[in-house]
Amino acid sequence: MTDAVPRVPRVTGPTIRPRRLRTTPALRRAVAETSLEARHLILPVFVREGLSEATGPRPISSMPGVVQHTMDSLRAAATEAAELGLAGIMLFGIPEHKDAVGSGAIDPDGILNRAIAAVAAEVGDALPVMADLCLDEFTDHGHCGVLTPDGRVDNDRTLAIYAEMAQAQAAAGVDLVGPSGMMDGQVAVIRAALDAADHTDVAILAYSTKYASAFFGPFREAVDSSLEGDRRTYQQDPANAREGVREALLDVAEGADLVMVKPALAYLDVLRRVRDAVDVPVAAYNISGEYAMVEAAAANGWIDREPAILETLLSIRRAGADVVLTYWASEVARMLNQPSGRMTR
């Protein structure tokens, strides 16, 4: 009698295999929960007074690939943004001269208002033209409002200037104003000022939930900030999430058409809470420090740049942002327009 052959138990694999839906790129695209498209992206740009077309735009050292534009290069960037199908362009002006009350912000011939008019004339209705509505680029002390004699930001005096600034931007042709100063009541005052001047169609993209963040550093180089001290008495405490939702709800009640969370990456939890709380579109700002970290890591060979950019922006969309302000907007739109979904080198 021969020895019996031992019976090998039949191995049965799992019935439920989530990996089935990951087997090919086409299948992964078919079941993707979150999309990233050009129409989700807004391009922030800086235009500097006094730059000559002969010298061209001025590079920003802490934000590789980003520049302070001349008026001509700004128009070219806006035209490209329109052709790429972006959701908008957000303008920041850098004046040659600053003063204590930021008077250049309301001057019809000031750099920001001239930039609005130039871009609006260039792109027409093909691209929403947005403008930062804040005094920090225009004040010699670098704060977002005018100061009291003892150096505090005067909320209500600042609101009166914001109202004038909104009317000046609307007269220049802006489609959306972006109040970013975190003054209490700013949206209500701006809405009333716009409506009183028959600019009822100008929308408000409110920087509702804006934190006193360490990640703003490169932006301050970009706008030649002259900030004295910090902005912790009016920007939000990074420890607080419920307060961020409260700020967004107040802005919606005051007439905001969209609300924003800024910064994005360190506050994805807040972004999700705001998205769940409001019934208007939500924006998030992928800010300068977030941009600079990815660029620096990629330049050192520590990460694969293009996938890292896409993953960063997808994370912001996944957390609830309808639109994302990002300095990569045009580059990513070109990348997404490639048949392979990747940028050509």
3-state secondary structure (DSSP) of residue 44? strand
How far apart are alpha carbons 284 and 266 in whole angstroms?
11
Strand partners, 43: 89
Residue 219: CB atoms within 10 Å: 25
Segment (H or E) for 326: strand 323-326
Listed in order, strand segments (DSSP E) in 49-181 are 58-59, 67-69, 88-94, 129-133, 176-179
Three-class secondary structure of residue 65 per DSSP: coil
Q: Is 133 helix (H, G, I), strand (E, B) or coil?
A: strand
Whether a cis peptide bond, with omega within 30° of 0, leads into 263 is yes
Neighbour count for residue 339 (Cβ, 10 Å)? 6
Q: How many residues does the chain have?
A: 345
Nearest Cα residue to 82 out of 143, 34, 41: 41
Exactly one of 69, 98, 262, 273 is catalytic; which is it? 262
The Cα 210–Cα 219 span in angstroms is 14
| Inter-residue contact 156 to 149 (CB < 8 Å) | no
Annotation says 98 is catalytic? no
- Choose the catalytic residue: 48, 69, 191, 210: 210
Tokens of 121: 């004339």
Q: Name the helix (H) or strand (E) containing 282.
A: strand 282-286
Distance CA 95, CA 250 (A): 32
Bridge partners for 283 per DSSP: 260, 323
Tell me which long-range contacts 188-191 makes (C-beta under 8 A, separation of at least 24): 188/254, 188/255, 189/159, 189/160, 189/162, 189/163, 190/133, 190/162, 190/163, 190/166, 191/254, 191/255
Catalytic status, residue 262: yes
Active site residues: 210, 262
